[in-house]
Amino acid sequence: MKKDVGTRYTKEESNALRSALAGRQLVIKEQKLPVIVMVEGWSASGKGSAISSTIRLMDPRFFKVYNMDKITEEEWRRPFLYRYAVRMPGQGQVAFFDGSYLDEAVKDHLAGLTDKKEYENTLASIRDFERSMTDNGYLIIKVFLNVDRKTQKKRLKTLQESKNTAWRVVDEDLWQNEEYDLFARTYETAREATETPDCPWHVIEVSNEKDVEGDLLSIITHAIDSRLAEIAEKGRDRKLVKNPFALKKIKPLAKMKLEDKTIPEEEYRKELERLQKKLSKLHYKLYRKKIPMIIAYEGWDAAGKGGNIKRVVSALDCRGYEVFPIASPSVEEKSRHFLWRFYNRLPKTGHIAIFDRTWYGRVMVERLEGYCTENDWQRAYNEINEFERDLTDWGAILVKFWVQIDKDTQLERFTERQNTPEKQWKITDEDWRNREKWDLYENAINEMLQKTNTEFAPWTILESNDKHYARIKALKVIIDAIEAKLDEKK
Amino acid sequence: MKKDVGTRYTKEESNALRSALAGRQLVIKEQKLPVIVMVEGWSASGKGSAISSTIRLMDPRFFKVYNMDKITEEEWRRPFLYRYAVRMPGQGQVAFFDGSYLDEAVKDHLAGLTDKKEYENTLASIRDFERSMTDNGYLIIKVFLNVDRKTQKKRLKTLQESKNTAWRVVDEDLWQNEEYDLFARTYETAREATETPDCPWHVIEVSNEKDVEGDLLSIITHAIDSRLAEIAEKGRDRKLVKNPFALKKIKPLAKMKLEDKTIPEEEYRKELERLQKKLSKLHYKLYRKKIPMIIAYEGWDAAGKGGNIKRVVSALDCRGYEVFPIASPSVEEKSRHFLWRFYNRLPKTGHIAIFDRTWYGRVMVERLEGYCTENDWQRAYNEINEFERDLTDWGAILVKFWVQIDKDTQLERFTERQNTPEKQWKITDEDWRNREKWDLYENAINEMLQKTNTEFAPWTILESNDKHYARIKALKVIIDAIEAKLDEKK
């Protein structure tokens, strides 16, 4: 029952709309629908008070409101979408963003923090992010509160005049009013660039607060209903997006030679020491130049990931890296987009994050054990490529290792672990069960390697029948990647 | 095999010590022992490199290193111990702190950020924190790297001369060297104030790095062994600390009159509107004066906590509060001190955190369902009192509500929920099971109310047979608490 501009809602109408929304909370919980409501718009357009009155009858245990205006230093040192991604709600929850990434992208650009190309990339990655979120079951409701120049000026003045609210008016707000036309044009093109059928923009013309909350309430309720109707009708499967990224050919595992990939003990010791010294120096340069780095390890059980990682980190300053062993997701993690727990573990600029198993679990174990639907893992290749593109666009060095051994070598190592008391904790029945599915996994891995071997985030195979060989190769690849990035920056 | 000052460890000895420690990691994992290693000491005493070489052979998946020197703005806006508490490791994990709260407390004091009394309170709360952590199964190993004035000066100079390390020397370090004697005295008294049998200080005289890492390694390994031996011998139960806090008498639940605690509909509507308006204004004052507030709700199932909270928050600016529904702890939470998940949810200064169920679960459901040992919940009263004292010392307004109804009223509400479709999700078999244990719970609650009814964090009973009455009372209590704090500040 959205009304025309300027028409007022009666107190009764607003209350009816409020309790209607409160009722939807139960439906959302039942349907496990996670909802994000982004209230964007001009400063002093009444975003906050619109949200406040919208939630008045909602159950506060099942929604959160985030004021996204202020960016902390920790957030500045993460990718653009980080602070929004880490706040995504779980199933059945609602997150309100008071101000969001459209506003941030526009302000960054007009303030000269991003050039035209960076700005367009940001808008593109926002579009992809929203599609990926929607495909993973999220409802994103985007509202823009539009206020004309005169009204905004008047409102800012009113705010400044009361000592209870004066602190809320910052220079940026005044600047926005001075440059009103420029902002108006930019907001409009930004909305167009992020307009999609699944995540359309709802522009509310602000004439007085009543209209805002009334319209906001009916927009949210309507969006929830139509999404649930759509799911009921078409189910949760989503259309697959054709992969838009250039892919480099990569050999299937079976074709990878392992026998000749060895290194003599003596040479190994020498090389290890030399390369670790070198990496250690480079680590300080990364730190000083504030370049973030992400090293992703995937590989067969007992392929030697742990030992490989150990040789890398022992060359690093312990204050500049973190290692994340990735096990099965927690309840909170299961109830969100599968990339959420990795957004949560992204390094700060100048730091290194090492993942022992990664987001590729989606197209391996989750695929083969049926922890997600076929449609989910089919989509995941592209969702992962977009995620990695955002990381490299951010300026991160991204190294992806597949640690490869053959089936016999795995058997040897399993047996050895079984028979060595202090290694037994490393081997579980699950490892044996997975081993029985070797061929299924090999198929999935080949498909994964091929479909995610992008120009910006290519795979490196670490031939690890000889662990020493794999460790030396890993160090070399990491060193080369860092040096390449440092050259770029020169 | 800790050596005398100045004696060198051979390369072989150091390696032997390193692999000994690496071996201990497995024992720690088996024994589920969480370990914190605090490496404190003078700037340029080699804390970082000592840690780096100490961990060289450790499995990076089971330890983390935190550089605690830099404090983020988010951390500044939390209690002193917050940034250490949120980083506590889980069972079987090791956390290394490069610099810790002793250094922070000393620097804050010498920089004039804390007066003598505040400084002594900080040291006292550190002592209590360490005892509480130890009692809850943690091993805290505290090492202080001592370096004489000349050596420090030389080292700072060396650091400044290389462009790889110059950035690491800040004014504070130079100030420390100038004021060496003052710092030396203060560090010493601070160590004395935080010296306990369970968490003794290990001072390592730094003459050259070899000695530091060698000594550090043997200190850690030895500490782990003796703690495990102690557990094997005496078990995990700990001595109960006699409650040191003044307690206000409080009536047992059975003696609380409920019948006459009612309010007429008409008066309720008026009061609700009046009080919400008032609270709304006060919320902005809290925000501007950066006063944090914590509102804790406990009470019987169906006592009306949810509806009560809703009436409170609908008066608040949605950007300035968060509601935390507390369910059973996650795996990560179970593996840490029971207060960890509440440290994680503390509000920033100027914000309000509302807890729907709280840390008191330890002495109610966890006690009665046997989720913790008797020794655990017996200790918890005091651990909770200390936790709340730290919150109020920090400057937080802390309001604790027990929402009280009688057994018949609960039955009515259970039955009504059972029979109202849109309320059925609120009622589970567990609620009915808990109801059968009403008397056991009533006992536990009476003990809890009495043992945690401190001067600084007293309980308020919300008589809620008439929900309206309870809501009005809650609003009044919250408003009074805020006004009292604002008067203090005048």
State yes or no: pLDDT of A21 exceeds 70.
yes
pLDDT of residue B306: 93
Of B96, B314, B323, the CB nearest to A56: B314
B273 vs A: CB within 8 A? no
A51 vs B: CB within 8 A? yes
At B191 the three-state DSSP class reads: helix
CB pairs under 8 A between A and B: 93
Amino acid at A252: P
Pairing assessment for the beta strands B352-356 and B321-325 based on DSSP bridges? parallel
- Please tell me the distance in Å from B77's CA to the nearest CA on chain A: 12
**Chain A residues with CB inside 8 Å of B14's CB?**
none
A233 vs B: CB within 8 A? no
- What band does A7 get if pLDDT is binned at 50, 70 and 90? low
- Please tell me the distance in Å from A142's CA to the nearest CA on chain B: 18
Of A65, A314, A356, the CB nearest to B56: A314
- What is the C-alpha separation between A417 and A152, in angstroms, rounded? 70
Average pLDDT over residues B250-264: 95
- Please tell me the distance in Å from A176's CA to the nearest CA on chain B: 22
A235 vs B: CB within 8 A? no
Find the distance separating the first CA and the last CA of chain B, reported in whole Å. 58
pLDDT of residue A2: 56
pLDDT of residue B333: 95
CB contact under 8 A, B318 and A98: yes
- What band does A4 get if pLDDT is binned at 50, 70 and 90? low
A273 vs B: CB within 8 A? no
CATH numbers and ranges of domains, chain B: 11-234 (3.40.50.300), 253-489 (3.40.50.300)
Average pLDDT over residues A71-83: 94
Average pLDDT over residues B448-457: 98
- What band does A27 get if pLDDT is binned at 50, 70 and 90? very high
A65 vs B: CB within 8 A? yes
Of B26, B288, B319, the CB nearest to A65: B319
Across the strands, what pairs with A397? A293
Tell me the percentage of chain B whose pLDDT exceeds 90. Answer: 83
Q: Which of residues 349-378 of B touch A (CB under 8 A)?
A: 354, 356
Total residue length of chain B: 490
Across the strands, what pairs with A390? none
Largest CA distance in chain B: 85
User: In 10 A of CB B254, how many CB atoms?
Assistant: 8
Average pLDDT over residues B143-152: 95
pLDDT of residue A210: 56
What residues contact A171, with CB distance under 8 A and at least 6 apart? none
CB contact under 8 A, A318 and B48: yes
CB contact under 8 A, B60 and A313: yes
Tell me the percentage of chain A whose pLDDT exceeds 70. Answer: 98
- What band does A260 get if pLDDT is binned at 50, 70 and 90? very high
**Chain B residues with CB inside 8 Å of A64's CB?**
322
**Chain A residues with CB inside 8 Å of B75's CB?**
none
Residues A410-432: tens digit of each pLDDT: 999 999 998 888 788 888 898 99
- Please tell me the distance in Å from B367's CA to the nearest CA on chain A: 24
Residues B327-360: tens digit of each pLDDT: 999 989 999 999 999 999 999 999 999 999 999 9
Average pLDDT over residues A40-56: 91
- The two three-digit tokens of residue B51, written as one number: 């840690």
CB contact under 8 A, A319 and B98: yes
Of B61, B72, B98, the CB nearest to A74: B72
Q: Which of residues 142-201 of A touch B (CB under 8 A)?
A: 164-165, 167
Rounded to 10 degrees, the C-alpha dihedral B356/B359/B363/B369 comes to 70
CB contact under 8 A, B61 and A306: yes
**Could you give the ipTM of this predicted complex?**
0.77
Average pLDDT over residues A304-311: 94
CB contact under 8 A, B60 and A284: no
- The two three-digit tokens of residue A386, written as one number: 């977009």
Ranges of H-type helices in A305-406: 305-313, 331-334, 340-343, 365-368, 374-394
* H or E element at residue B469: helix B467-489
* H or E element at residue B378: helix B374-394
- Please tell me the distance in Å from B243's CA to the nearest CA on chain A: 34
B91 vs A: CB within 8 A? no
**Chain A residues with CB inside 8 Å of B323's CB?**
60-61
State yes or no: pLDDT of B176 exceeds 90.
yes
CA nearest neighbour of B203 among B124, B131, B141: B141
Residues A348-387: tens digit of each pLDDT: 999 999 999 999 999 999 999 999 999 999 999 999 999 9
- What is the C-alpha separation between A307 and B59, in angstroms, rounded? 8
CA distances from A312 to A212, B60, B142 (A): 56, 10, 28
Of B164, B284, B310, the CB nearest to A164: B284
Residues A136-191: tens digit of each pLDDT: 999 999 999 999 999 999 999 999 998 878 888 999 999 999 999 999 999 999 99
**Chain B residues with CB inside 8 Å of A57's CB?**
310, 314
Average pLDDT over residues B17-41: 94
What residues contact A258, with CB distance under 8 A and at least 6 apart? A404, A405, A406, A409, A463, A465
CB contact under 8 A, A330 and B325: no
pLDDT of residue B145: 95
- What band does A3 get if pLDDT is binned at 50, 70 and 90? low
Tell me the percentage of chain B whose pLDDT exceeds 70. Answer: 98
- Please tell me the distance in Å from A462's CA to the nearest CA on chain B: 20
CB contact under 8 A, B332 and A331: no
CA distances from A470 to A262, A306, A463, A475 (A): 8, 12, 6, 9
- Please tell me the distance in Å from B56's CA to the nearest CA on chain A: 5
What residues contact B81, with CB distance under 8 A and at least 6 apart? B101, B125, B126, B129, B343, B390
CA nearest neighbour of A287 among A486, A488, A79: A486
CB contact under 8 A, A52 and B317: yes
DSSP B352-371: EEEEES-GGGGGTHHHHTTS
- Whether residue B65 contacts residue B51, with contact meaning beta carbons closer than 8 Å, is answered with yes
State yes or no: pLDDT of B490 exceeds 80.
no
Q: Which of A299-303, B17-21, B457-461 has the lowest mean pLDDT?
A: B17-21
**Chain A residues with CB inside 8 Å of B422's CB?**
23, 26
- What is the C-alpha separation between B341 and B319, in angstroms, rounded? 22
- The two three-digit tokens of residue B446, written as one number: 């009476």
- What is the C-alpha separation between B237 and B135, in angstroms, rounded? 8
pLDDT of residue B204: 93
Residues A102-142: tens digit of each pLDDT: 999 999 999 999 999 999 999 999 999 999 999 999 999 99
pLDDT of residue B8: 73
Of A67, A167, A330, the CB nearest to B332: A330
B236 vs A: CB within 8 A? no
Q: Say how far residue B298 (Cα) sits from the centre of its chain.
A: 19
B317 vs A: CB within 8 A? yes
Mean pLDDT over the full length of chain A: 94
Of A52, A73, A165, the CB nearest to B318: A52
Q: Which residue in B68, B70, B283, B319 has the most chain A C-beta atoms within 10 A of its own C-beta, making it the best mutation to test that interface?
A: B319
Ranges of H-type helices in A136-208: 149-161, 171-178, 180-193
Closest chain B residue to A69, measured at CA: B319
A483 vs B: CB within 8 A? no
**Chain A residues with CB inside 8 Å of B52's CB?**
317-318
Of B167, B306, B332, the CB nearest to A61: B306
CB contact under 8 A, A61 and B167: no
What residues contact A214, with CB distance under 8 A and at least 6 apart? A2, A3, A8, A9, A13, A14, A17
pLDDT of residue A195: 97
- The two three-digit tokens of residue B14, written as one number: 């150091």
Q: Which of residues 282-311 of A touch B (CB under 8 A)?
A: 284, 288, 306, 309-310
**Chain A residues with CB inside 8 Å of B74's CB?**
72, 74
A70 vs B: CB within 8 A? no
CA distances from B381 to B196, B375, B404 (A): 22, 11, 21
B74 vs A: CB within 8 A? yes
